[in-house]
Structure 1
């Protein structure tokens, strides 16, 4: 029987545990595994043997170069390639790769965002091998390259990347969660992992049409564009039959992902036309983060093979749903216990209830921080736009858990609402078991059976930030819980009291209703929940006194590292909006306004010619069009002049918060003012004069 394609290709380009077991001497393999399990420093002799085996494996697969693959604070990955060549006295090539080269690299750190941690002339930075994430091979026009996942830090030791804080947070969560589970008698637990499954939404458009849109090329989103006659009103695209061209892309994408050991599981059409989703099976937060970065990179690469362009921006098209990345987060022991699994009788599952209480408290105490972790210039277009969760952080627990919480608060916990059988009314259909709780797609942080789904993340974002934030927040609460319970004379009584106290004090964060409604905005304000409407408003919370205390206590980030990220966030916002504004200026001045002038000229010529041929002819239609078009053209020119002035003024503002606020309040508003008349003109001007593909062309002609 022919081998299934998944079995045939899965993990073939990964230096995984199976390959290491085969390639390494038994004693080295055992020492390696012990190092991983105990979190110890890697012995140099062991590193040399691993490096040699890794090199030999890579060479067998055609590799000529290796790279330390890292994730700087640009939001994408970075790499510097070195060949395996070493000098030889007889001029023959010698291929070597040492443990030292495996463990440490030295890329230039001066040109990556550092937020003031490094001066421009201070160029030295280090990449350190993350041995918890397996090395992999990547084949492209450069040949086959061995990619070694690494952390990236400065010469003075500060984190210059997204991976280092994530790894620190995983250790922090494990340390405190182990203390908790041991109190419940699970003495065999040595480690607790954060498990994550990020769903990835994306758009696919024809590449030839994409290349005719400067806004898509430079910014990833359409800065101009009138709605197509049909959008997503009929809900016919969602879970609809996948088009042949898209299905071919998805097939190739899956194969590329499976080769790298990425557990690509689900694929389907999303709500908006030309929008789709891919979802993987869960793995540890660190590997899941690496995999998601690869997913985004490979999506773009595979799309080009099919003459498509993959758009990962959170809002590439106005008027239809944008793209998010739901982050499914849970906590699992090395013995297989999911601390967020309620079990059949959650009201009796004290370990689950204590963990749940910790998450509730962590989210309520750090709502602003969690909101920031999902912030980006692109995501500002989604959050609160009746297509994604609102900007207000709340927790959805569902009927079953909300009922238990209310029982706990009253002090008479005695039952759990159980799932019933679902009667479809059709006898030939099987009887289905109904879950005890429905789902709530309007909630930003929803409990979905045995995990929490953080639904605010934007599609282009790294999942590292949200996950190290979640890990640190929950670890901090678990530390307080462990400190208290370890001193308790009567553990059972103390646990019950602690759960009741915590959920009573933080019940305000629980909301099972419609997060899109205006009533919720008013209700949230009454409850004292923050409503942070933009990235710029959220940034200061990252380095607040409370946040610094939290991250330093859990050894996830220092005050200096947090303050650097504040500056990087402000800078990122300002630069993003500046690029968008300049792109609008370029398109309006060089494409739209000249094309509209040509159209108005043709209208004027038409009126003149008709009247010359027939003085009594009715030219009221042409005259009305000319008048309306000329008026909108004048509005566009006026708005363009204002936007140019605003962008110039932005350069005079102090870099950081002042400049970012100016871009948010002034430049962004002027961009919307310029867009309005041009979008209206698109509905009037003859298509032969319009200089770019329209929404209808982009969304439906794939």
Structure 2
């Protein structure tokens, strides 16, 4: 074992789990560092409290006078909690969170100082808009941008800083973040779903999208990870031979959580409780040193904020336990990668989950309406859903026999498939009394009983119905949940708008009764949606061929997948429902395709560096040891040395072959990179990096991993998989 690896491993073995003080029940500390309604009732006047509650519940604007009262109360609460600074906490298009801390401290006349935080500081600030990804919206000399308070996501304290969730927009008004279009999409689906709900319940005033994410991640010893340049710089291993034992025995999944990992989890969950993140579930995942955290479902905007906050907190807590958290979708070859399943549903302000059947035929017809419309939306915009989860890192995972394929399909189970088939057979036009009775008693009325047994799941399905929600399984572990949630809520909103137009048209022009009109429209949707429904093995070659026949897309790489974002259909969708204008849509495409290029470029540079500065010199050093050994044998045994040194001679020759191959491949990869770096067309550049640069990765890896098996373990410089995955 090399000296670097030895000391890294020695340091990791000295680690002892930190002890976490859990004197309080979780329910007692939950949200104690959040400026929630409980805190607001203590620190705000009745007028200020009503102002912020109205903004949250009805979307009304908060006037400046009310903002002054709120900021005063918020400041007093924060200072009482030990806060010294405040920040507008936002989510730029980097995929991470951003914050600039300002002290409450200000000086006044007479050399005195006070703590100040007024309404203007709460409501709006001006970060540099040109320093964040903007896709050409801003020039470098046009730096002004604005962060604006989002009162629907409560402020919180982390450390000694009051964090105020905000949107981030350019001076010209275009969104430069994830939150702004998400809020617009949620408003759009609220409006569209509420209008449809009134067919069934006139009392519905608001529909909210809920989200429950499941965060998968790897925990790696920090000292071991620091000895790997590829992990440090790219978040994944670009080289490394699979260990003799990986996940073959299925002994890690749901197994006993290692003590050190458990200490990290307890510490993390304590932080979650303080910040109001309702962490509920923890367990070992499939791969060694892979784990999962899942919360209770929340309103989608708050859930997205909480997941973004969690990913930041995880890294900070991990450092306290001498861990590094890897959220890359495929940090290790040969073992499962990590995803982030997004469980989505719609609920009314009357307490009804619209994707859960009820006790009456009418409530079940409502369920079928939203269920079928969601499927129809996925059918219409399946390429856009695929684009919402596209990234250089997720490309490694999709379709890798561990995650859903790149083909978007919907799984609903055999029982619900039978229900749709029966609905499809309904006569077109006005229903006969017998048909209505049969539908209500034999089909619609029995849906709750059917769903009791509809518990099986299809892990190969990207978009599956799981009882009372849809699970978007293809989202990557490092992704911001806002991206898929913007698309999903937008396409469902558009579909519900179209549905209501069609139903109202049948009622007004064909004089149909409401139920007849709804059944007629749903009947046609069911016929169309057969294309997207699939119950089988999504990994099979047969499905790939079948999907092609059905006309479904199979965009396996990010450059292929992202093109739909600038197609007229996508731009029109977002413009028509007020989520993004053309400039914003095109900017996001530019940002995401550029990020893809840069990530492949970075990985290529890191791989070339490791191959030539770590792997090849080590191989040469070991080869020289073998040559010295062979030379010594020749000096001792003369002509007989060949028979005695045959194994060494063969090894020397094989090592030479791998060294030559690595050097040649790295040179060719660099030349390909130089060629496409000159390309000014971003689409051609991305395609070149994808098809001409990236393929060298596996070829270089193959020869390096072969050398890893040949070279003396004491010499090999890179911490090996067996040490990374089985040290905890």
What band does the TM-score fall into relative to the shorter chain?
over 0.9
Indicate conservation of the 8 Å contact 2:155/2:163, yes or no.
Answer: yes
Q: Give the C-alpha shift of residue 27 in structure 1.
A: 2.9
Shift of 1:4: 4.2
User: Which of 119, 138, 158 matches 2:174?
Assistant: 158
Which residue number corresponds to residue 425 of structure 1?
Answer: none
1:665 is aligned to 2:691: yes
User: Is structure 2 residue 212 aligned with structure 1 residue 189?
Assistant: no
The aligned counterpart of 1:212 is 227
Q: Distance in 1 between matches of 2:664 and 2:52?
A: 67
Question: Once the 2 structures are TM-superposed, how far is the Cα of residue 346 of structure 1 from its aligned partner?
Answer: 7.5
Q: Are residues 1:125 and 2:145 paired?
A: yes
Counterpart secondary structure, 1:329:
strand
Return the offset for 1:507.
1.4
Partner SS, residue 664 of structure 1: helix
- Partner residue of 2:163 out of 142, 147, 158: 147
Does the CA contact (< 8 Å) of 1:400 and 1:437 recur in 2? no
- Structure 1 residue matching 2:710: 3-state secondary structure: coil
1:503 correspondence with 2:526: yes
Find the aligned partners of 1:681 and 1:407 in 2 and give their Cα distance: 61
1:316 matched to 2:331? The reply is: yes
- Runs of 4+ residues deviating >4 angstroms: 344-348, 416-421
Equivalent in the alignment of 1:430: none
Q: CA deviation at 1:656?
A: 1.4
State whether structure 2 residue 313 is matched by structure 1 residue 298.
yes
1:247 aligns with 2:262: yes
Query: What is the CA–CA distance in structure 1 between the aligned matches of 2:517 and 2:88, rounded to whole Å?
Result: 49
Alignment partners' CA distance in 2, 1:293 and 1:103: 21
Alpha-carbon spacing, 1:347–1:611, altered in 2? closer, same or farther (3 Å): farther
Go from structure 1 to structure 2 and tell me whether the alpha carbon gap of 1:20 and 1:419 turns closer, same or farther (over 3 Å shift).
Answer: closer
8 Å contact kept, 1:332–1:339: yes
**Is this contact kept in 1: 2:566–2:589, CA < 8 A?**
yes
Q: 1:593 to 1:493 in 2, by over 3 A?
A: same
The correspondence for 1:180, drawn from 196, 199, 202, is 196
Q: Kindly provide the CA deviation profile for residues 206-244 of structure 1, in whole angstroms up to 9, marking residues without a partner as x.
A: 111100000000000000111110111111110011110
2:649 match: 623
Contact 1:205–1:310 (Cα < 8 Å) also in 2: yes
Q: Is the 8 A contact 1:363 1:473 kept in 2?
A: yes
Q: Which moved more, 1:49-58 or 1:82-91?
A: 82-91
1:138 matched to 2:166? The reply is no
Asked if 1:474 corresponds to 2:503, the answer is no
Q: 3-state SS of the aligned residue for 2:108?
A: coil
Q: Is the 8 A contact 1:389 1:515 kept in 2?
A: yes
Cα deviations across residues 414-437 of structure 1 (Å, max 9, x unaligned)?
33777999xxxxxxxxxxx96334
Q: Is 2:83 the counterpart of 1:55?
A: no
Q: Distance in 2 between matches of 1:32 and 1:164?
A: 19
Choose the corresponding residue for 1:444, options 462, 465, 469.
Answer: 462
Moved more, 323-332 or 582-591: 582-591
Larger mean CA deviation between 435-444 and 268-277 belongs to 435-444
Tell me the CA shift for residue 323 of structure 1: 0.2
2:289 is aligned to 274
CA deviation after TM superposition for structure 1 residue 248, in Å: 0.6
CA RMSD in angstroms comes to: 1.6
The structural deviation recorded for 1:34 is 2.3
Q: Distance in 2 between the 1:529 and 1:21 partners?
A: 53
Gap change, CA 1:418 and 1:162, over 3 Å in 2: closer
**3-state SS of 2:129 partner:** coil
Tell me if the contact between 2:51 and 2:62 (Cα under 8 Å) persists in the aligned partners.
no
Partner Cα separation in structure 2 for residue 587 and residue 436 of structure 1: 50
C-alpha distance in structure 2 between counterparts of 1:628 and 1:347, whole Å: 73
> 2:420 aligned with 1:392, yes or no?
no
Residue 249 of structure 2 is matched in structure 1 by: 234
Q: Deviations for 1:668-688, whole angstroms, at most 9, x for unmatched residues?
A: 012222111011111111111
Paired residue secondary structure (2:130) = coil
Matched position secondary structure for 1:687: coil
Provide the TM-score with structure 2 as the length reference. 0.92
- What is the CA–CA distance in structure 2 between the aligned matches of 1:347 and 1:447, rounded to whole Å? 21
Long gaps (5+) in structure 1: 422-432
8 Å contact 2:359–2:448 — kept in the other structure? no
Which residue does 1:701 correspond to in 2? 727
1:347–1:404: 8 Å Cα contact kept in structure 2? no
CA separation in 2, counterparts of 1:511 and 1:347?
Answer: 28
Match of 1:649 in 2: 675
How far apart, in 1, do the equivalents of 2:313 and 2:704 lie? 35
**Contact 1:446–1:452, Cα closer than 8 Å, also in 2:** yes
User: Are 1:7 and 2:30 matched, yes or no?
Assistant: no
Question: How far, CA to CA, are the matches of 1:174 and 1:402 in structure 2?
Answer: 28
Secondary structure, counterpart of 1:322 in structure 2 = coil
Size of the alignment, in residue pairs?
685
CA contact (8 A) 1:130 1:151 kept: yes
Aligned partner of 2:617 in structure 1 is: 594
Cα 1:240–1:44 shift into 2, 3 Å: same
Stretch deviating more after TM superposition (655-664 or 161-170)? 655-664
Q: Would you say the 8 A contact 1:180–1:482 is kept in 2?
A: yes
- Residue 114 of structure 1 is aligned with which of 122, 128, 134? 134
1:465 aligned residue: 483
1:45 is aligned to 2:65: yes
Contact 2:357 2:448 in 1 (8 A): no
Distance between the aligned counterparts of 1:32 and 1:577, measured in 2?
45
Equivalent position of 1:408 in the other structure: 423
Write the distance in 2 (CA, Å) between the matches of 1:612 and 1:35.
89
Contact 1:347/1:415 (8 A) holds in 2? no
C-alpha displacement of 1:345 = 7.2
Using CA pairs under 8 Å that are at least 6 residues apart, name the structure with larger relative contact order, 1 or 2: 2
Per the alignment, in what secondary structure is the counterpart of residue 663 of structure 2?
Answer: helix
Residue 187 (structure 1) shift? 2.1
Gaps of 5+ in 2: 1-21, 427-434
For residues 250 and 359 of structure 2, what CA distance do their matches in structure 1 show? Answer: 36
Q: 2:345 is matched with which residue: 330, 338, 342?
A: 330
| Aligned 8 A contact 1:202 1:311 in 2 | yes
Quickly say closer, same or farther: Cα 1:317–1:110, change in 2 above 3 A.
same
CA–CA distance in structure 2, aligned partners of residues 348 and 90 of structure 1:
69
Tell whether the 8 Å contact from 1:14 to 1:134 is kept in structure 2 after alignment. Answer: yes
CA contact (8 A) 2:55 2:151 kept: no
Aligned to 2:10: none
Q: Which of 63, 68, 82 is 2:88 aligned to?
A: 68
Q: Higher helix fraction: Structure 1 or Structure 2?
A: 2
Name the SS for the 1:658 alignment partner: helix
2:221 and 2:323 in contact (8 A); partners too: yes
Q: Deviations over 1:353-401 (max 9, x none)?
A: 1111211111000000000001110000000111000100000001221
The match for 1:376 is 391
Partner of 1:424: none
Describe the shift of the 1:434–1:545 C-alpha distance in structure 2 as closer, same or farther (beyond 3 A).
Answer: closer
Aligned to 1:429: none
